[in-house]
Amino acid sequence: MLFENVRFLDTTLRDGEQTPGVALTSKDKVDIATKLDELGVNVIEAGSAITSEGERESIRAVVAEGLNAEICSYCRIMKPDVDYALACDVDSIHLVAPVSDLHINVKLKKDREAVRKMAIETTEYAKEHGLIVELSGEDASRADLEFLKSLYIDGVDAGADRLCFCDTVGLLVPEKAELIFKDICSAVKAPVSIHCHDDFGLATSNTIAALRGGAQQAHVTINGIGERAGNTSLEEVVMTIEWLYKHKTGINTKEIFKTSRLVSRLTGIPVAPNKSLIGGNAFTHEAGIHVHGLLADTETYEPIKPEILGRERKIVLGKHAGKSSVTLAVKEMGFEVDDSQLHEILNRVKELGDHGKKVTDADLQTITETVLSIQREAKVILEEYTVVSGNKVTPTASVKLKVDGQDVVEAGIGDGPVDAAFASIRKGISGIADVQLEEYHVDAISGGTDALVEVLVKLSKDGKMVTARGSRTDIVMASVEAVINGINRLI
């Protein structure tokens, strides 16, 4: 049956590190792997054991967590790669054999039969040592299909448990992918996976088409990260199957957004605001006509409820805001306003928008409380802060806070003075809340070394997110101000 019992092999930990500038620590990999396990992925490709001792340490650390998912190592068709994987005590290997003549002749400088022999011998060796083997054809979309099928058949005879078709440079189109998989799946006696790259933006479409053609497992990454244009996005494939094709995947979709944020933070790769499902704008609304529709029925301008992904709907206010936008935003903050108060709040919001300002949650709360004459005492007040930084000094910050009326003094270190200041603030409020910094943005409002800077931050707590602003000539103070404003909005 179509999409019945689809499995997911997640390659975020390996393919993410193929992205320029990404270097995950062992702790990072364990944190991501643990979250992937919570999501319910079937296989986690934890890295390539042959790469380095540091890579092997991180793979062993993931294995040591005792996760429910099968833990896998990427291997070339070489016995030493298998030996290194065995030393990491993984459950399986993703054994990759180049199958296009371009890769065989140019990259390996061998012929088809030499590759076939290497693939078979390495498969047999891995099986003799108790590993699950997924035999993968690299650059399969440019390979001779008859050669590929014969290699797969020989691989299964040698003991391969699964097979994989790799669209290594993203050259498949959906209609061709479906036909290819119908052909391959009828010719081989083992489950076949699809592994796509997004060079032409078709990774998700090709993956869905392959699953329609009979593939039983999809290779995916969180946020679609990976080398070049990235890999197939887990969240896109899962939600396409669940929401558009109405089949359960076994993935805990309510953890998708949290996992996305974690991967983005640890890899340092931001998620594009317009990225489907997980981008900042995916469930964000500003135009008055849209929000008017949402007030009547959220389905008017949302294909699914944000809560399904562990998200919240967000109303952005600016010069395009209408009465509906402000009504919904104020209501979600827990305020009740009459028509005259609503009119005044709307005018103040538009005034900020006309001056090019982004109206943050903290701004709207302040405006609303002013209009309603509400005096709300902040739970966290900054009394003083100190930062020390230099080319031969570890950036360190200390803060004195008043938290719920009690004096708290904490210190922290970081990658820079702002990071250190945030670390010390997080320690200071740890007794009442665990707040995460999701996004940080700085703009210079005026020129010169004494420029007024505006800092915008996005903070989260237990899945709830807020934005806040700080404006100062001192970038650290502006950052601290923004964070404190956001914290008070969250708690």
Distances (CA, A) of 231 to 106, 169, 180, 235: 24, 10, 20, 12
The pLDDT of residue 456 is: 87
Domain 284-372 annotated CATH 3.30.2420? no
Q: Spell out the domain ranges in the chain.
A: 7-267, 284-372, 380-490
The pLDDT of residue 295 is: 62
Beta-bridged to residue 141, according to DSSP, are none
**Radius of gyration over alpha carbons of the chain, in Å?**
26
> Looking at domain 7-267, which CATH architecture does it have?
Alpha-Beta Barrel (3.20)
List, in order, residues 6 or more apart from 336 with CB less than 8 Å away: none
The pLDDT of residue 277 is: 96
DSSP labels, 269-305: -PPPTT-TTTSTTTTEE-SHHHHHHHHH-GGGT-SS-
The pLDDT of residue 290 is: 65
| pLDDT tens, residue order, the chain (491 aa) | 688 889 999 999 998 888 877 889 999 999 999 999 999 999 999 999 999 999 999 999 999 999 999 999 999 999 999 999 999 999 999 999 999 999 999 999 999 999 999 999 999 999 999 999 999 999 999 999 999 999 999 999 999 999 999 999 999 999 999 999 999 999 999 999 999 999 999 999 999 999 999 999 999 999 999 999 999 999 999 999 999 999 999 999 999 999 999 999 899 899 998 999 999 889 877 655 666 677 667 777 789 999 999 998 877 777 777 787 888 888 878 888 999 999 988 888 888 778 777 787 878 888 888 788 776 778 899 999 999 998 889 999 999 999 988 999 999 999 999 999 999 999 999 988 889 898 888 876 655 666 678 888 989 888 788 888 888 888 898 899 889 988 988 88
Domain 380-490 CATH (choose: 3.30.160.270, 1.10.10.60, 2.60.40.420, 2.60.40.10): 3.30.160.270
Strand order in the sheet with 380-390: 380-390, 393-403, 406-413
Bridge-based pairing of strands 132-138 and 92-98 is parallel
The pLDDT of residue 325 is: 80
The pLDDT of residue 152 is: 98
The pLDDT of residue 448 is: 61
Distances (CA, A) of 170 to 36, 165, 174, 222, 274: 25, 12, 11, 18, 22
9 phi, psi to nearest 5 deg: -105, 115
Q: What is the pTM of this model?
A: 0.80
